[in-house]
Structure 1
C-alpha cells in the first residue's frame, strides 16, 4: 500500500451490546467494511465479558477469513485480582497480538511485539520511543492530542506505526466506580448490567440541561462524536499509518466506506461529512482537540473558525 494512504482500523466496542448483536456487528464488518485491522474484546468492564465470550472464536474466524488482521484488547483499568488474572491469562495464552490499554498489560508484554491503544497516555515522542523499545510496533495516539503533537511524535519515530482516533465518542476517563449504575439507583456490585439499556452511551446534561458528556458503565465519554473527516489528508501527509474508527451504534460499515472514499480521493470531505450526518443522525460532531481547541468544538476547515 502507498504509505501516503493510511489504512482503516476498527477499535473495540466500548459499549455493552448483547452477544448476538456484538457477533453480528463483526460479521458485517468482515463482509462489508474496507477495514484492514480489527481490535476486539472487552476494554471497559470485566463484568461484561460473559456476554461476548461465547462468540469470540467465531468472530475471529469470520474476520480472518475476510482477510482482516485481528488483535485482542486488554482491560483499561485493573482493580481486582480476578481482573489481574484475566490480563495475565490473555497475554500468556493468546495467539493473537495484544493491544495494551493499561500500564499493567504493558509490563506483561515487555519484550514481545504488541500494540498500544488510545487509553494509554502517549503525549510525546520520548514516550513513544520508550514503548517501541519495549516491543510496541503500533501506537494509537490519545484522541485529545492536537495535530502539532501528532506530527511531532510521528516524525520523531519513523520506525513505529501510528494510528489516530478519527471517529467515535472520545473515551475521556475510566473509574473504579460506576456512575452509570448510580444514575439509575444501583451500585456497581449489583448493577444488573443497566448500561445495556444505553448501547450508545447515556447522555449527561449540565444544570442548564445542555448535553455535556456520556456515561458508559465505568467509562466517561464525550457527548460529541469525534469525526476527523476534513483532516484525513493532513494526517496522511504527516505519515499516520492507520485511521481508527471506534464502533458506535450506527452503520459502521457505511462509516468505513465514507472514510475509505476520502482516503482514496473519490469523495470530498464536504460530501462525506454530509453523508456521515445521515448515517449517524442527531449526534453533534467535533474535531476541537485536533485543532488545539475545546474538544467539543467543530472547527471548519474552510474558515479555521469554530462553527456555531
Structure 2
C-alpha cells in the first residue's frame, strides 16, 4: 500500500500553491492529483503554474492526474472539464458529468466524491475505463473489503481516504461569501482568509464542521492509522492524504513510516497530533458508531 496526495480543497495564493506542490516532490507520496476541485473561480489564480507543478512532480518520479470539479453548473465549467483531457494526463472524475467529455476508451480515475457504494457501480465505472477509484470516505471497513475484492477482480486500483478533513457536501451557494455579506458572484475570494477552512461551532460552542467556500467539510481530521493493516489485507492499494497548509510533508512521512512498518499506529497518531496540535482526529466512518469517533478514545488502557 502506498500514498496519494489528493487535490487541494482550499484556496491558496498562487505562490503558496506552487510552493506546496513543489514540496511534494520530496515527500514519499507515489502520486499527486492537481487542479481545482471545489470552485472554478479559484482556478485562474494558479492555472499558469499547473504545467510547472506537473514537470516538477513527474521529474521526481510522481504519477500525476488532474481533478475535475466536484459540481459542474456553468458552460465555462463544462469547457474547463473538457480541456482537462487535452493535457495528456489521467483525469480524476469527481462529478459524473465529466464522463461525456472523456473520449471513449480513455482511462480515468474516480475521486472520493463519486458515490461508489456497491459492486455494480464499481463494475460499471471499470467498464467505461476507470483504472483507479478512491472510495467515498463514509464507507465502513466491511464495505471497503467487499469493494476492494471486486476491484482486484476488475484490475482496478482502490484508494481509501487516509488523512484530512472529510468532504461532506458541495452546494450551489457560497457560505464564505454569505458570511461576509456578499453574493457568490461578488465573493471577493473571502475563502482565501481561511487556508484550512473556517471552523463552524454549534450554538453551544462545540466544534461542528468546517466551511470552505461552497464546500462543507468535517471539523475532525480523518486518520486511518489504526486500520492500515486491515485495509492492506483487504486489497486496498493506497491511502489518500488530503493537503493542508501546515505540516503536510511531515504527515506524508509519518504515514510512510507506518506503512513501511517503522512506526506503530499509536506512535503515528501521536506524531500526527504533534504536527497539528489543535486538530481533532476521527476514524468513525471506517470503524465506529459515528463518523466523529476516534479509535484512540475507545482504546482500553493496558493494566
Normalising by the smaller structure, the TM-score range is over 0.9
Match of 1:188 in 2: 184
Report the secondary structure of 1:64's partner residue.
helix
CA distance in 1, matches of 2:209, 2:180: 16
Match of 1:57 in 2: 51
Structure 1 residue 184 displacement after superposition = 1.8
1:115-139 Cα distance to aligned partner (Å, 9 max, x none): 0000111001111111001000000
Match of 2:75 in 1: 81
State whether residues 147 and 292 of structure 1, in contact with CA within 8 Å, keep that contact through their aligned partners in structure 2: no
| Residue 291 (structure 1) aligned with residue 287 (structure 2) | yes
CA distance in 1, matches of 2:15, 2:246: 16
Match of 1:95 in 2: 88
CA distance in 1, matches of 2:288, 2:96: 26
1:46-89 Cα distance to aligned partner (Å, 9 max, x none): 00001111211111111011000100001110111111111112
Match of 1:220 in 2: 216
Match of 2:20 in 1: 25
CA distance in 2, matches of 1:106, 1:224: 32
State whether residues 220 and 282 of structure 2, in contact with CA within 8 Å, keep that contact through their aligned partners in structure 1: yes
RMSD between superposed Cα atoms in Å: 1.4
Structure 1 residue 302 displacement after superposition = 7.0
CA distance in 2, matches of 1:276, 1:157: 30
Match of 2:101 in 1: 108
Pick the aligned partner of 1:163 from 140, 143, 159: 159
Match of 1:261 in 2: 257
State whether residues 119 and 171 of structure 1, in contact with CA within 8 Å, keep that contact through their aligned partners in structure 2: yes
CA distance in 1, matches of 2:51, 2:87: 12
Structure 1 residue 27 displacement after superposition = 0.8
| Residue 207 (structure 1) aligned with residue 203 (structure 2) | yes
Match of 1:16 in 2: 11
Match of 1:36 in 2: 30
Match of 2:244 in 1: 248
State whether residues 230 and 301 of structure 1, in contact with CA within 8 Å, keep that contact through their aligned partners in structure 2: no
Report the secondary structure of 2:148's partner residue.
helix
Structure 1 residue 294 displacement after superposition = 1.1
Report the secondary structure of 1:157's partner residue.
helix
Report the secondary structure of 1:230's partner residue.
helix
Match of 1:3 in 2: none
CA distance in 1, matches of 2:139, 2:176: 27
| Residue 147 (structure 1) aligned with residue 141 (structure 2) | yes
State whether residues 41 and 73 of structure 1, in contact with CA within 8 Å, keep that contact through their aligned partners in structure 2: yes
| Residue 239 (structure 1) aligned with residue 235 (structure 2) | yes
